[in-house]
Amino acid sequence: MVREATLGSLDPVVVAAFDIPLFVLASAFAACGFRVAAIVSTCWTGTVAVALAWYATVTTEAGWGAVTMVAAAGGSVIALCLILLGRVPNEFIIRGPFAFRPAASRATSARHVASTFIQIVVFWGLFLVVVPVTLTALERRWDVVFSFPSFVAPVGFIILVLASGLGLWSAVAMSTLGDGTPLPSATANRLVIAGPYRWVRNPMAVSGIVQGAAVGLIVQSWFVVVYAVAGSLVWNYAVRPLEEADLEGRFGEEFQRYRDAVSCWIPRVPQDRSTRPAPRQ
């Protein structure tokens, strides 16, 4: 039964004939420090992942094999980066349209708000509709579905509404108080420490991750929930360090005090009064 779930109608002997030298032995040599073996193992794992994903999509067989190999391919790429570079490169994230650039200071607040809401429509449409729909379809097609309790979908809807409200609140605060937008290529010219930013440093990231998980609950797809969790890891370990380095470079001690006083993920009352908005006169 395990063979059918992971390989479907594929001949396990033929698969093993390639897998043992190109993955098992290559991984063993890679563990001993042979870089060429690490490259071979990673390339083979990626090839098998793509092939099994295609096979599972066309035939509805070997779904769990596709899931396993996609996860293994991701791990292999990370391991290869660590072996070759000693780290996982993340600089490519802030290149091109996503490079950090302050918004044009001549733009009005209304323009920043309009631009921000256009970004919300595009990004929410892509990451909360297109990607989840695609993942859910693959989950059904690969026959790797789990049953969810009946109460999960309504709970997910409530969570989605609350998380979306947080996202909109954060976007308005960023565009009206920061003289910019949440997009890195038109980022805020002023450090925003009011509104939801008073309680948590990255409310838009918190909102987006919770939204993704909530959508997974609504459509009852563990693929989508895992996608949201994976997104949180990518954002925390790849995007956040770059963003905070940019903020520290532009705002210096002001951002350092804010970072020390306000948590990244868990909302809490800031202890440093310098991070609180000044009272109205």
168: CB partners within 8 A, 6+ apart: 120
Q: In the predicted model, is pLDDT for residue 176 greater than 60?
A: yes
Instruction: Answer yes or no: is pLDDT of 257 > 60.
Output: yes
Statement: residue 126 has pLDDT above 50: yes
Q: Round to whole Å and give the CA distance between 149 and 274.
A: 46
Q: What is the CA radius of gyration of the chain?
A: 23
pLDDT at 278 over 60: no
CA 194 to chain centroid, in Å, comes to 25
User: What is the average per-residue pLDDT within 266-274?
Assistant: 65
Single-letter residue type at 36 = V
Burial class (CB in 10 A: 0-12, 13-18, 19+), 67: buried
Please give the pLDDT value at position 277. 44
Could you read off the pLDDT of 51-72 as tens digits, one per residue?
999 999 999 999 999 999 999 9
What's residue 129's pLDDT? 97
User: Quick one: which H or E segment has residue 203?
Assistant: helix 203-219
Q: Could you say which of 3.30.9.10, 3.40.630.10, 2.30.30.90, 1.20.120.1630 is the CATH number of the domain covering 95-102+111-261?
A: 1.20.120.1630
pLDDT of residue 281: 27
Mean pLDDT of the residues in the chain: 89
E-assigned strands of 11-124? none
Of 96-100, 112-116, 153-157, 268-272, least confident by mean pLDDT is 268-272
Domain range summary for the chain, segments of one domain joined by +: 1-89, 95-102+111-261
Q: Which of 80-84, 123-127, 217-221, 269-273 has the lowest mean pLDDT?
A: 269-273
pLDDT in the model for residue 280:
32
With CA atoms as reference, report the closest residue to 175 among 257, 94, 120.
120
Strand-pair partners of 237: none
Location of structure tokens 């909530």: 214
At 170, the pLDDT band (50, 70, 90 cuts) reads: very high
Q: Does residue 6 carry a pLDDT above 60?
A: yes
Can you give the pTM of this predicted structure?
A: 0.89
Grade residue 98 by pLDDT with cuts at 50, 70 and 90: confident
Q: For position 279, what pLDDT does the model report? A: 34
